[in-house]
Amino acid sequence: MKGLPEKLKPRIFAGIDAQELNSILAEAKHRHFPASVVTHEGDAAERFYVLVSGQGRHFVTTTGGRKMLLHWLTAGQVFGGAALLSDPYRYLASTELLSESCVLMWSREKIRELAARHPVLVENAFSIAVTEGVAWLIAAQVSLSSDDARGRLANLVASLAGGIGMAAADGLELRVTNEDLAAGANVTPFTVSRLMGEWQRSGVVAKRRGKVVLLKPQLLGSM
């Protein structure tokens, strides 16, 4: 593979010139996936990925079998970062793609070889881990500790709007279900349904099949 799709500028490749980038991409495998789980929590971290198109998210499964949603992914973001570590490690969470998607994939051996030749890859991976992964975990923990169910759901919807929201004629469209929001905000689907009903009557959101349209994001924080 040579070059990236127009307008796609993954942070993992920041500071790498075109010639070096092409040499890195030449070592990648280009894969198409249907909506599916690509990496599984607890499996050996043998692959490193860059999402080229589509949408995904990380999740873990509790001992009781409950699915807990973590960080959401859009085109240009990476997953499987544990493959960069010097000691063999395992994936701490599962990663699922929510629609037909394309990824670039490197084996653990290959991405570590490339990182040795291009140290900026490791620097960029560390920056992503801190500013995206750790920042998200801090925000989630603060919300869980200080917000009630309404606040957690409002924060989640606002966060998703900024991350995966797609411009629609009347607002920002989020392709999420009540079950997704319940898992992400650590509330029940009934609570999501009740609060979404209130927000819809207030004109803040509109509920559609498998989607939420955020009509007045500026009012979400006051709900």
25 vs 96: CA distance, rounded Å = 23
Q: Are 73 and 79 in contact (CB under 8 A)?
A: yes
Domains of the chain (ranges plus CATH)? 11-143 (2.60.120.10), 147-220 (1.10.10.10)
In residues, how long is the chain?
Answer: 223
What's the CA gap between 175 and 56, in Å, rounded? 11
Long-range contacts at 123-126 (CB < 8 A, ≥ 24 apart):
123/15, 124/11, 124/12, 124/13, 124/14, 124/15, 125/12, 125/78, 125/81, 125/84
| 223 residues of the chain, pLDDT tens digit each | 567 887 899 999 999 999 999 999 999 999 999 999 999 999 999 999 999 999 999 999 988 888 888 888 999 999 999 999 999 999 999 999 999 999 999 999 999 999 999 999 999 999 998 887 776 777 677 777 778 999 888 888 888 887 788 888 888 898 888 888 888 888 899 999 999 999 999 999 998 888 899 998 777 766 6
Q: Where are the beta strands (DSSP E) in the chain?
A: 29-33, 36-39, 47-53, 55-61, 67-74, 78-79, 94-97, 101-107, 166-168, 171-174, 205-208, 211-214
pLDDT of residue 1: 56
CA 51 to chain CA centroid, Å, is 10
- Fill in the DSSP letter of residue 50: E
